Structure 1
Amino acid sequence: MLPHKKASSHRTSGRVVVPALVLAVIILLAGGGGYWYFTRDLPWVDVLKDQKAYPGTKIYADDNVLLGEIKFEKGTPVPLKKVPKSLVQAIVAVEDAHFFRHHGLDYVGMLRALLTNIWAGGVRQGGSTITQQLAKIMFLTPERTFSRKIREVILARRIEARLTKDEILDLYLNKIYFGHGAYGIEMAAQTYFGKHVEALTLSESAVLAGLPKAPNIYSPYADLDRTKRRQKYVLDRMIEEGYITAEEAKSAYSKPLALRNLRKKTDVAPYVVEAVRKEIEERYGQEALYQKGLKVYTTIDPAMQLAAVQALQAGLRDLDKRHGFRGPVEHREPRKTDGKKKDEDETTAGKTVLPLGEVITGRVTAVSGDGVSVLARGVKGRIPPSGMAWALNKVRPAKGEKVPKGKKWRAAPDRILKAGDIIRVRVAALPQKGKGALFDLEQDPLVEGAAVMLDPATGFIRALVGGFDFGRSEFNRALHARRQAGSAFKPFVYAAAMDAGFSPASIIIDAPVTYDEQKDLKPGWSPENYDREYFGPTRLRTALAYSRNIVTIKLLKEVGLKPVIGLARQLGISGPLPEDLTLALGSGSATPLDLTAAYAAFANGGTRMKPILIRAVAGANGEIIESEEPQGEPVVSPESSYLLTSMLQDVVAYGTGWRVREVGRPVAGKTGTTNDYIDAWFVGYTPNLAAGVWVGYDNEKSLGPQETGSRAASPIWTAMMKEALKEVPVEPFVRPPGVTVLEIDAATGLLASFDSEETIPEVFKAGKEPTRASTQADREALEEAARKEFEAAAEREKDKGKTEKKAARRGQRQTQEDRD
C-alpha cells in the first residue's frame, strides 16, 4: 500500500508543479514583454548629464542694450547653489515632501492617486514626484493615460539611479513652467518680481512655489485672491515640514507683493526681435540661429522704440474709448462667507504694491452714485465718476427716464457696472494713509495699428511697432500689412508734378468732374472732395494742404499715370497700384514701413535710403560676419523734394495735419483716410527723422464716423515724435541752391503786381519761376474758366436727374404691368 501512496503523491505534486512553472514562465514572458513594450522607445537618461545649453542668438539695440534673445531652450539656467534655500524648501514641501527620502517614487502618493483615478473612471490625479515630473518634462508628452504613467515611473527610477538629488533639483527648477512664458526659476523671478532668483524673499518664494501645479489659475496677474490662498498653503506646508516657524510664515504672508508689470523693459521691441529671428534664420539657417551664439546689432533706438510703443498704445486706447464702453471683461459672483471667515477682499487687501500708471485687472466690489469700489491686485480703491466719464457719457437715458432741464445728464455708474464685474483699470494714484488707491476705467482696444521711425539720411529703422500687443497678435503690421494709403499717397502725385515742371503756385480748377473713359470703373465716375465743396481756381499748395481730391485727380491726369506709378515704385512702394485715376485718391496699397521710407526720401533731398534694421551680425567671439552700410538711390531732384516739403509743411501749418503743430518744430507730413474710415494714416518727417502711423482693424471694418487720419493717427504721431525728439535740437529744412523765393499773386500764381489783392511768398525751381506779373485779366480768365466748369457740372447733374426720372417712370410702368 505504501508504494502506491507514494506514487499517487508524486503524480499529484507533478500535476501542481508543472502548471506553476508554466504560469511563472508566462508571467515572466508577459512581464518582460510588457517591460519591453513600455521601454522600447524610451530615451537613455544619461543624456541629462550631458545637457548642453545652446547659446542662441542675442539681439541688441543701437546702443548695445539687449533687446531680446532667441534660444532653442526656454528660460535662463541658473545653478542650484544660486537658488535660495527657502525656495527649494517651498518647492519640495508643496510638490514632493518625501523627495529626499524616496528613490523616484512616492508609493503612498501613487496609491492615493490610483484610488482617485479608479473612483473617477479615468486619470484625474498624478501623484507624481519631482523626479517623475522631470521625466515628463524632458521626455514625455503631457497626455493623461495609464501607459504614459507607467513610462514615467520607469524613467523616474532610471533618473534616480543615475543622478543625485541636487542634479535632479537643478534640472527641475530650470525646466518647470511658471506661467506667462516663464520657464525655469530665474525667468519666473524676473517675470513676476523683476529680480534675480538669489534675491527672492521667503514671501516671493512661496508664491513661485505655488505656481507649477496650475500656473494660469494661481497667477497673481489672473487672480490675486487665489494666489494669496495658494501662498498661504505653501507656507503652511513649510511649517508642517519643519522648514520655517509659524511666525516666519505669518511675516512672509503679510508682506506686500511688489509684482512687476508683465511688460518688461526688454519687451518693448518684441516685433523687432521676431523680425530679426526670421531674417537671421533665412540668411544663416536654423542651426546658426540657435547654436552658434550669434550677436545681432540692430538700428533700433531704445528711447524712440519706447516712445513709439507708448504713443501707439495710448492712441489706440483713446480711439477705442471714443466709441464707448463694451462692458466688463467677465463677471464673477463674490464668494459667500459664513460670517466667521473674512471675505477674500479683506484677506488680500494691501498685499501688493501697485505700479503707478499701469493698466491692470481689477474686480468691482461695490457700485454707488459717487463711483465704483475696486479691488486690484489686493489693493482697495475706487473709480470716481471723472475716471469713467468716457464710458458714462456714451450712455443714453433709458426710455421714460426724466432728464433735468438745463443740466448736462450723465448716466450713473450702475448703468454700466455691478459688483463682481472684472474690469481693466489704470492706477491713477497710489493709496495714502486713510485713503485707498484711485483708478481710471480702461478697456483693451480691439483696433490695431503700427508705427515706424527711421533716419532719412541712413535708412536706419529707429523704431518699429507692429501692433497693440505682441502677446495678442504676432502679425507685424508695420512690415506686412498692405493697406490702402488714402490721401497719404497724394504727395507722390505732387512730387511727380514738381519734376514735370509744375510748381506749388500752379493753378487747377477745383470743380465737379465726371470721367467716362476710365477702365475698370463704372461709366460716369464722378469723384468728390471729402467735404463735397468746391473752390474754383486753386493753387497746388492749397490743394495739398486741404487734401482736395478733384485737384489731385486732375493733376494726375495731366502728369500721367506711368510717371506717378514709376516714381512710387522707385521710392519703394511695392503693393498693388491701380492703373486708373483712383490712384490719386490712394486706392493703391502700401505697408507702413514702405510709405514711411518713401516720405523719408523727401527729407533726404530726394534720395531714397534702403531701410535697414540689422546693421551687423557677429559671431560668438565678436568677429563680424556681416555688416550693412547705408545705400541710397536718387529718385526725386533736391529741388522738387524741397518744393514738396514746403507744401507738406503747410499741411501741418493750416491744413489737415494741424494737430501735429504740437511737435513744436518744422514738420512736413500728410494725413490719409480711406473710404468709410477703414484706414487712418499720418506720415511725415522733420529734417532728421521720418515716421509713419497707421490705424485700422485687421478685418478692414470702419473705425467709426469722423475717424480720419487727422483724428485717429496724427495724435499718435505727434506724441511719439515729441518724445523721440525732446533732446534733439530744432532744425529747419534747408533750401537747396536751385530754389528761389518770389512774391506771387495768391489768386493766379503769377508774380505779384500793384493791384494784387493778396500776395504770398512762394518757392520755385530756378529757371521755372513765373515770368510776368498777374493782371486783372488773368484773374477774370480763371474765374470764367471755373464758371464754365461749374455750369457744365450743373448741366450734367440736370441730365442725370432727367435720366433717373425716366428710369423711375419705366420702373413704375413695369411694376404696374407685372401687377396687371
Structure 2
Amino acid sequence: MKYIKTFLLIGFIGAVLGGIALTGIYFYIKPDLPSVAILKDVRLQTPMRIYTHDGKLISQYGVKRRIPVTLQGTPEMLQKAILATEDNRFYDHFGIDPIGITRAFINLVITGEKSQGASTLTQQLARGFFLTREKTFIRKIKEVFIAFHMEAELSKDEIFELYLNKVELGHRSFGFGAAAQVYYGKKLDELTLAQIATLAGLPQAPSVLNPISRPERSVERRRIVLLRMLDEGYITRQQFDEAASAPVTAEKHGAEIELDAPYLADIIYSEMVELYGKEEAETGGYQVYATVSSELQQAAQFAVKQNLHDYDERHGYRGAVARLWPADSKKSAAADADNSPQEECIQPAIYPYWPCTVTEDQLINSLDNVGAFGFVFPVAVTSVAEQTFITRDVMGIERTIEWEGMDWARPFLSDARQGKSPEQASDIVAPGDIVYIREQEGQWRLAQLPQVSGAFVALDPYNGAVQAIVGGYSFYQSQFNRATQAKRQVGSNIKPFIYSAALNNGYTVASIINDAPINEWDEATGVAWRPQNSPAEYDGPIRMRVALGKSKNVVSVRLLRGVGLDNTIEHLTRFGLDKADIHRDETVSLGSSSHAPLEIVRGMAAIANGGFLIEPYFIDRVYNETGEVLWQHNPVVACDDCSAESDTTNDAVMDPEQDIEALLAAELNQTLPAPEKTQEVLAAPRVISAPNAFLVADMMRTAVRANGSWNKKTYWQGTGWRARNILQRTDLSGKTGTTNDSRDAWFSGFSRHLVATTWVGFDDMNRQLGRAAYNNPLAKRNPDRFGWMGNAMVGTESGAMAAQPAWIRFMQVALQDVPEEAMAVPEDIVRVRIDRTSGKLTRRTDHTTLFEYFLRGTEPTVYVLDDEIMDPAEQEDSTPDVEEIF
C-alpha cells in the first residue's frame, strides 16, 4: 500500500506538472495556431480552368493540379483503402490516436529513432494545411493542437473530404481526383482495385512511391495497402491476388484538354491575373467560360493554318530543315552493299545504307530538336524511290509519301520566284533529310513550317462577344498574338470607313467620281505623289458603289479631299481607331495607318450592326470551385433603346447591280423575320446613323460578288467575288485589303450576325508577300477554275489571294446551318431607278438601269437625257477580258 500511495502521488504530481507544461506550451505556440475561422473556411488551392462557351476545356493554369471531389462522390473502396492504410480508427478517435502514439513511443525508446509516425488523418491534414513535414517535437505539438481544433469545429466527414482533396500525391497532383487523372487519365469511379490501392499508398511518400517515378516501390506499397484491406475484411483473397499481381498501368497524363486554343487561353489568363492577381488566379479554383464556341474556334484555327500552308506551297519548297549527316558523307544503298562499314561500328546504324554513326538515339534526338508545331511534325527520310519516299518518326512509325503529296515542291528561289517543278522524288529529298510532313484529307504530304504569319478574329457584331480568335500559326512557336498586338498597315480595308465619311458629307452611293490618275507635286518633299490603282487601270467617271467594289485607290483619295482630312480622321475615330495611329496625310485614304485586326473587326462591326460601337470581350462568365457564378459579363449592346423593338423595317435588301430582268422578277416587298428582342442591357454608343451603316454595308455586298450581266456587257467583279461564288449566299458584305508592295493582306466581311477579319503577312515588315507562278500539279488538284482553295492561285499576293480564303473557309463552317438573312432596310432609306452610267434618274427599264438606295432627300432629282445614255451592249470595247473575269 505504501508503494501504491507513492506511485499515485508521483503520478498526480506528474500529471499536474504535465498539465502545467502542456498549458504553457499551448500559450507559447498559440500565436502560431490558425484561427477557427480559417479552419471553417479552408480553401483548396485549385487551378484555374478555362472552357469554351459550350464547355470544352481549353487550358488549365496553376502549379498544383487539383480536381475537387466530394465524399459522397468518392468510391467506397477508395475510402476503405485510405482508412485501412492511414487511419483505421479515424471515426473512433478525437483527432489523435493514443494507441498509435504509444506504439511510436515504444519504438522510440527501443531504437532511439523517430522512425514511426502516429499521425491520424486529422493530423496529416493539419500538417498539410498549416505546417511542414519536418520531424521535430514542436511541430508535432502544433499538429496535435490543430488536430484538436479541427475535430472540434469540423465533422469527421468534413475532415475526410478535405483530406481527399488536400493530400499531396506526387507529380504536382493534390487530392485523389487529380491523382487519378495524372496517373491514369481517369475519374475516380473508373479506377480498378489495383489502381485504387496504388493511389491509397501514396500519402506516406508520394515522391518515392508513385508508379511513374518508382514503379517497383509502388508495387511493394500497393501490396501493403491490399494486405491491410484484406485484414480489415474490405476485400476477398481472390480480389487481393488479382490486384496484387496486376501490371503497373500508370503513365503521366496532363489535363484533359478538349480544344487546344492557346492564344485565346493566354488572353483570358492575362485578364484573370489583372482582375485577381497571379497567385489567386492560379489557385482560386476559378472556372472561366469564354465567349467562343468550340466549333467556331476550331474552324478559325484550321482556316488560318491551312491558308498559311497554301501560301507556302504556292511559293515553293525551302528544303530539308536538318540532316542526320553532312551532305558530302551521304551513302547510297548500293555503295554500302559493296563496301559495308558495319563491322567497324560499335553501335550499328538503323538502316544498312546509313553511316554507322546514325543510331536510334541520334535519330530521336535530332527529331526532338526540330520539334512539332501546328499541323506539321518532323520525320527522317529513310529511303527514296522514283516518285515516293519513306519516312520514320520519333516513335519509329514509318510512312510513305506518295507523289501527289510532294509534287508541289518546286524550289523556292525568292518570295516572288519559284523554280521548275520536280520530276522525281530525288529532286526534292534525299536519305538522311529531316523534313516536316502533315496530313490533309487522309493523305500524308511533304510540308514545311510556314514563315508567313496570319491572324483571325470573329465577333458577334451586336454585343462584341469574340466568336473565334487566332494569333498566329502556332502559339508554341511564337506567343506573339497578331490578332490583338500586331499593328499593321490596313490597306484598302480602311475604305469602308472612308466611304462612310463621304456619305456623311453629301455624297451618295450613286455619286460620280473621276477614276483618273492623280499626279500632284509635293513642295515639302520635292517629289510628285502619284497614287495608283491596283491593277493600274482607270475607268473614268464611276459611281461610288462600283469604286468601292473594285477598290479604286484614286477614288478613295478624291473622296478624302472632298470630305477634308480633319473630318475624315475624326470620322475614322468613330469606329474605335486610335487617333494616334492615323496618319495625318492623304495616304490615310489608302490604308497607310496601322491597326490590329481586333481594332479593324470592331470597326467593321459598327457597319454590320447598324452604327453602334461595341466593346469586344472574351470572358462570358466566371464560377468559383463550388460552381457558383462569381461574375457574368454585361456587354453594351447595339440598340438605340434596348427595351424597345428595332427602329428599322424588314424590307428585303435587293442587289442593285443585279441584271435588271432578274431584278424585276424578284419579290421586292418580301418581308424578313425581325431580330429577337434584346434584353434590357447597356446600350452601345451610336457612332454613325443607321442609313449610313446600311449604305456602306450594301456597297460592300457588291465587293464580294460578280455584278451586272455578261450578255448585256454590264458585268463587273468586286475584288472579293470568290466569297459569293463559293459560299453561294447573297447576305454577305466584305472588303479586301492590300498594302504597298503586298506586305500586308487583309479581308474583312460579315453576315448579319457575324463579322470577321483575317490578316496575312510576314513578321518582318520589310518582307513582301511576293507573287506565285502557275503550278500545274496544284491546279490539277483544284479543278474549279477559280482556284479559291489558295495554293493554286496565281499572281501577286493580295487580300483576295492571300487572306480571303481563310475567311471563306471559316464562314463555310460558321454559316453552314444559318439561313440567309438580309440586312434590314432603315425607314429613311428609299429605292429609286437610276441610269447605270450617270447615276441620274431614268424612265427606262432595261439593262442600262438599276435600282439604287438613297437616304431620303438625297436621291437624284434630275432625269438622264436620251443623248446621255450609254448602252454598254453597243460598246465594242466594253466586254471584259476572260482573264479579268476568271
CA distance in 1, matches of 2:287, 2:256: 21
- Which residue number corresponds to residue 612 of structure 2? 607
Counterpart AA for 1:704:
G
Quote the offset at 1:317 in angstroms.
Answer: 1.2
Quote the offset at 1:429 in angstroms.
Answer: 8.2
Quote the offset at 1:382 in angstroms.
Answer: 1.1
CA contact (8 A) 2:459 2:756 kept: yes
CA distance in 1, matches of 2:403, 2:833: 56
- Which residue number corresponds to residue 455 of structure 2? 450
CA distance in 1, matches of 2:309, 2:423: 21
When residues 694 and 605 of structure 1 are mapped into structure 2, their CA distance, relative to the original with a 3 A threshold, is same
When residues 458 and 429 of structure 1 are mapped into structure 2, their CA distance, relative to the original with a 3 A threshold, is closer
Quote the offset at 1:439 in angstroms.
Answer: 2.2
CA contact (8 A) 1:449 1:468 kept: yes
Counterpart AA for 2:422:
R
CA distance in 2, matches of 1:505, 1:557: 18
Give the match's secondary structure for 2:703: helix
- Which residue number corresponds to residue 549 of structure 1? 553
Give the match's secondary structure for 1:728: coil
- Which residue number corresponds to residue 853 of structure 2? 763
Aligned length in residues: 589
Give the match's secondary structure for 1:479: coil
Residue 390 in 1 paired to residue 375 in 2? no
Match of 1:293 among 285, 297, 301: 285
Match of 1:704 among 766, 770, 775: 770
CA distance in 1, matches of 2:830, 2:46: 59
CA distance in 1, matches of 2:470, 2:297: 8
Counterpart AA for 1:174:
H
Match of 1:634 among 686, 690, 708: 686
- Which residue number corresponds to residue 44 of structure 1? none
Give the match's secondary structure for 1:774: coil
- Which residue number corresponds to residue 837 of structure 2? 747
Quote the offset at 1:627 in angstroms.
Answer: 3.2
Match of 2:479 among 454, 474, 478: 474
Quote the offset at 1:504 in angstroms.
Answer: 1.5
CA distance in 2, matches of 1:516, 1:198: 80
Most deviating of 770-779 and 494-503? 770-779
CA distance in 1, matches of 2:517, 2:441: 55
Alignment of 1:193-232 (within 5 A): none
Alignment of 1:190-269 (within 5 A): 265-269=257-261
CA contact (8 A) 1:448 1:698 kept: yes
- Which residue number corresponds to residue 820 of structure 2? 730
Match of 2:520 among 515, 521, 526: 515
Alignment of 1:72-221 (within 5 A): 72-73=63-64, 173-175=170-172
When residues 295 and 428 of structure 1 are mapped into structure 2, their CA distance, relative to the original with a 3 A threshold, is closer
Residue 411 in 1 paired to residue 423 in 2? yes
Residue 483 in 1 paired to residue 488 in 2? yes
When residues 325 and 195 of structure 1 are mapped into structure 2, their CA distance, relative to the original with a 3 A threshold, is farther
Residue 589 in 1 paired to residue 589 in 2? no
CA contact (8 A) 1:639 1:738 kept: yes
Q: Deviations over 1:398-454 (max 9, x none)?
A: xxxxx9xxxx96332112211122222124688xxxxxxx62111121111111111
- Which residue number corresponds to residue 365 of structure 2? none
Quote the offset at 1:697 in angstroms.
Answer: 1.4
RMSD: 4.7
Counterpart AA for 1:535:
D
When residues 728 and 323 of structure 1 are mapped into structure 2, their CA distance, relative to the original with a 3 A threshold, is same
- Which residue number corresponds to residue 56 of structure 1? 47
- Which residue number corresponds to residue 787 of structure 2? none
When residues 751 and 258 of structure 1 are mapped into structure 2, their CA distance, relative to the original with a 3 A threshold, is farther
Residue 440 in 1 paired to residue 503 in 2? no
CA contact (8 A) 2:512 2:838 kept: yes
Most deviating of 577-586 and 323-332? 323-332
Quote the offset at 1:514 in angstroms.
Answer: 2.1
CA contact (8 A) 1:512 1:526 kept: yes
CA distance in 1, matches of 2:222, 2:49: 43
- Which residue number corresponds to residue 573 of structure 1? 577
Counterpart AA for 1:454:
L
- Which residue number corresponds to residue 657 of structure 1? 720
Residue 362 in 1 paired to residue 379 in 2? yes
Counterpart AA for 2:814:
A
CA distance in 2, matches of 1:612, 1:548: 34
When residues 71 and 692 of structure 1 are mapped into structure 2, their CA distance, relative to the original with a 3 A threshold, is same
CA distance in 2, matches of 1:77, 1:755: 73
CA distance in 2, matches of 1:476, 1:198: 40
Counterpart AA for 1:410:
P
Q: Deviations over 1:274-310 (max 9, x none)?
A: 1122222223323431333333332112111111111
Quote the offset at 1:392 in angstroms.
Answer: 3.8
CA contact (8 A) 2:514 2:541 kept: yes
Q: Deviations over 1:35-92 (max 9, x none)?
A: xxxxxxxxxxxxxxxx99621333232234333222143687999999xx9xxxxxxx
CA distance in 1, matches of 2:495, 2:864: 28
Match of 2:807 among 707, 712, 717: 717
TM-score, normalised by the number of residues in structure 1: 0.63
CA contact (8 A) 2:384 2:390 kept: yes
CA contact (8 A) 1:527 1:550 kept: yes
Match of 1:461 among 439, 461, 466: 466
Match of 2:756 among 666, 688, 691: 691
- Which residue number corresponds to residue 300 of structure 2? 308
Counterpart AA for 1:533:
E
CA contact (8 A) 1:454 1:689 kept: yes
CA contact (8 A) 2:408 2:421 kept: no
TM-score, normalised by the number of residues in structure 2: 0.59
Q: Deviations over 1:759-810 (max 9, x none)?
A: 1221111221111211256569xxxxxxxxxxxxxxxxxxxxxxxxxxxxxx
Counterpart AA for 2:449:
D
- Which residue number corresponds to residue 505 of structure 2? 500
Give the match's secondary structure for 1:760: strand
Quote the offset at 1:556 in angstroms.
Answer: 0.8
When residues 764 and 332 of structure 1 are mapped into structure 2, their CA distance, relative to the original with a 3 A threshold, is same
Runs ≥4 in structure 1, deviation > 4 angstroms? 74-82, 155-158, 184-190, 194-201, 233-243, 257-260, 262-265, 333-348, 393-396, 753-757, 776-780
Quote the offset at 1:730 in angstroms.
Answer: 2.1
Most deviating of 331-340 and 501-510? 331-340
**Paired-residue identity, %:** 33
Counterpart AA for 2:434:
I
Give the match's secondary structure for 2:833: strand
When residues 68 and 546 of structure 1 are mapped into structure 2, their CA distance, relative to the original with a 3 A threshold, is same
Most deviating of 379-388 and 510-519? 510-519
Most deviating of 338-347 and 64-73? 338-347
CA distance in 2, matches of 1:313, 1:259: 29
Quote the offset at 1:591 in angstroms.
Answer: 0.9
Q: Deviations over 1:246-266 (max 9, x none)?
A: xxxxx999x9x9999x99754
When residues 652 and 757 of structure 1 are mapped into structure 2, their CA distance, relative to the original with a 3 A threshold, is closer
- Which residue number corresponds to residue 272 of structure 1? 264
When residues 766 and 328 of structure 1 are mapped into structure 2, their CA distance, relative to the original with a 3 A threshold, is same
CA distance in 2, matches of 1:308, 1:242: 47
Give the match's secondary structure for 2:572: helix
CA distance in 2, matches of 1:372, 1:200: 44
Give the match's secondary structure for 1:634: coil
- Which residue number corresponds to residue 566 of structure 2? 562
CA contact (8 A) 2:183 2:251 kept: no
When residues 312 and 198 of structure 1 are mapped into structure 2, their CA distance, relative to the original with a 3 A threshold, is farther
- Which residue number corresponds to residue 792 of structure 1? none
CA contact (8 A) 1:59 1:298 kept: yes
When residues 713 and 409 of structure 1 are mapped into structure 2, their CA distance, relative to the original with a 3 A threshold, is closer
